[in-house]
Structure 1
Amino acid sequence: MSKRPNFLIIVADDLGFSDLGCYGSEINTPNLDKLAQGGVRMTNFHTAAACSPTRSMLFSGTDNHIAGLGEMVEYMMPFEEYFKDKPGYEGYLNWRVAALPEVLQDGGYHTIFSGKWHLGLTKEFSPSSRGFSKDFTFLPGAGNHFGYEPQLQDDVYFPALTSKGHWMEDGAGFDHEDLPKDFYSTTTFTDKMLDKLKFRTEEEKQKPFFATLAFTAPHWPLQAPGHVVDKYRRCPSLC
């Protein structure tokens, strides 16, 4: 029997088609350009026009309305009575679909998630409940990339990064104040994924892995480490 493949899915959040160097952007994206050059570019592959609907399609292989994300949950909250009990508008990855990590986990894969989830804002709809064995998860749709969110203290409709209960690791919630002091979303999500791959148990290493690394960047708010910003400030046309 042939060895089963490992999977690593990397998701960039709200990345435009023309934001990559391989499609003519003035922004440096050398590593992604290398992947494009050595891989396959699916230039006629389409998903939904928004965040969580797209993620529901990716993890279910179905239309986002079937999977429960006919609209983003943040936009449904002010109209809760209108959307109440409407199939396809549950606001989370619903139980009518089998999630890809669930299928692979049942098939003997070790499953890992790191990054933005946006397919349910509570533990019962979190990665650990939908087939991921290990996870480091930001549940909502957007947040300050440096772990501080003074402009979003109103947590009625749009969950702020500083809200309680929006961070989880391996199925357990933790407070945002326990994030690393040098937290930057892209770096921390990557480091957590690398750690969870590196420190697998011997039993876990015997299994193929399915890993999903879901960045919040370059989604709003548009932020980057100082040295990256300085690079483009010195030479705006750098490409």
Structure 2
Amino acid sequence: IGIFSLSGCANNKTQSAAQRPQETRPNIVFILADDMGFSDLGCYGGEIATPNLDRLAKNGIRFTQFHNTAKCMPSRACLLTGLYAQQCGMDKRPVHFTKNCVTLGDVLRDAGYRTLASGKHHSLDSLYDQGFDRYYGLRDGACNYFNPGKPRPGEGVPSQKRPGKRAWCIDEKTFVGYTPKEKDFYTTDYFARHAIGYLDEYKNEEKPFFLYLAFTAPHDPLQAWPDDIRKYEDRYRDGWDVLRRQRYQRQIKLGLIDDSMPLSKPTYDNWDAL
């Protein structure tokens, strides 16, 4: 799920991008969550506390008809390029973008924006070479949230499914087998921290910014700080059968679906039968 946030205003003057003052073009923040379900956010009927995202949704537009691919990597490529995965070279496994690709970073940088990216990319390309002035984050697929240089929980060394070490990008540099030095490292926190750092660094520029903040979460492995886990220790004891009915009722109440739409039939074992 992607969330756009715009600030500023726009007009219809036919000036070139270089001539337009900053206030005529909005700052843009694009937040991407990875493998998140339609009903996971509080503003979409979920029981997970997402107050800041809920507030953005309340003051914006919530879409109820949108579709993406079942895999994270082509979804990211489609959002960045406006192309189908098979058109930009991302339909099978992560490779380089094809030569016909123009990213949001390319377009907005040409329009006079400061283009900033922080987070997961999942391609053999670095976003630093795809129209972004700054990039910090995971170039590869999912990694250990607390240390990208270590295997994910339950994963062998090296992984049979994903052999090789994770690649991490900091601007023009790529580090293979990146191991952070910080003791409090957690990918979600550090993606956000670097994004905020970029905004602070360029806040006095006379140009608008485009920030692409692409989290790995909640993509597997499901890792979290102990304090966050404790908040939900008893929340799911009733099982998914109860949970899906509760989410269904909340979505009706929120107006996201019509009450004439029946709850879909489960495709999994009953919770009580486990």
What is the match of residue 111 of structure 2? 107
Aligned to 1:18, the other structure's residue is in SS state: coil
Q: 1:178 to 1:224 in 2, by over 3 A?
A: closer
Residue identity (%): 40
- Are residue 192 (structure 1) and residue 194 (structure 2) matched? yes
Q: 1:42 to 1:140 in 2, by over 3 A?
A: same
Aligned to 1:206, the other structure's residue is in SS state: coil
- In the alignment, the residues of structure 1 paired with residue 85 and residue 235 of structure 2 have an alpha-carbon distance, to the nearest angstrom, of 41
- In the alignment, the residues of structure 2 paired with residue 32 and residue 136 of structure 1 have an alpha-carbon distance, to the nearest angstrom, of 23
Any conservation in 2 of the 1:113–1:134 contact (CA below 8 Å)? yes
Instruction: For 1:35-50, list aligned pairs within 5 A.
Output: 35-50=56-71
Aligned to 2:210, the other structure's residue is in SS state: strand
What 5-or-longer segments of structure 1 have no aligned partner? 74-90
What is the match of residue 219 of structure 1? 219
The answer to which of 60-69 and 176-185 deviates more is 176-185
Structure 1: which amino acid aligns with 2:115? T
Aligned to 1:19, the other structure's residue is in SS state: coil
What is the match of residue 10 of structure 2? none
Q: TM-score, normalised by structure 1?
A: 0.81
What is the match of residue 172 of structure 2? 171
Please list every run of at least 4 consecutive aligned residues from structure 1 whose deviation after the TM superposition is greater than 3 angstroms: 234-239
- Give how far 1:50 is off: 1.3
Structure 1: which amino acid aligns with 2:202? R
Structure 2: which amino acid aligns with 1:186? T
What is the match of residue 27 of structure 1? 48
- Give how far 1:47 is off: 2.1
What 5-or-longer segments of structure 2 have no aligned partner? 1-19, 238-242, 247-274
Deviations 1:44-92 (A, max 9, x none): 011222111111110111211111111233xxxxxxxxxxxxxxxxx33
From 5, 11, 16, the counterpart of 2:32: 11
- Give how far 1:23 is off: 2.3
Any conservation in 2 of the 1:17–1:23 contact (CA below 8 Å)? yes
What is the match of residue 255 of structure 2? none
Q: 1:14 to 1:230 in 2, by over 3 A?
A: same
Q: Which has the larger radius of gyration?
A: 2
What is the match of residue 97 of structure 1? 101
Q: 1:45 to 1:149 in 2, by over 3 A?
A: same
- Are residue 140 (structure 1) and residue 129 (structure 2) matched? no
Q: 1:22 to 1:200 in 2, by over 3 A?
A: closer
- Are residue 58 (structure 1) and residue 79 (structure 2) matched? yes
Any conservation in 1 of the 2:121–2:137 contact (CA below 8 Å)? yes
Aligned to 1:233, the other structure's residue is in SS state: coil
- In the alignment, the residues of structure 2 paired with residue 159 and residue 26 of structure 1 have an alpha-carbon distance, to the nearest angstrom, of 36
Any conservation in 2 of the 1:128–1:134 contact (CA below 8 Å)? yes
- In the alignment, the residues of structure 1 paired with residue 52 and residue 180 of structure 2 have an alpha-carbon distance, to the nearest angstrom, of 31
- Give how far 1:43 is off: 1.1
Q: TM-score, normalised by structure 2?
A: 0.71
Aligned to 1:232, the other structure's residue is in SS state: coil
Structure number with greater CO (CA < 8 Å, separation at least 6) is 1
Q: Which has the higher helix share?
A: 1
What is the alpha-carbon root mean square deviation over aligned residues?
2.3
Any conservation in 1 of the 2:115–2:210 contact (CA below 8 Å)? yes
Aligned to 1:113, the other structure's residue is in SS state: strand
- In the alignment, the residues of structure 2 paired with residue 21 and residue 211 of structure 1 have an alpha-carbon distance, to the nearest angstrom, of 24
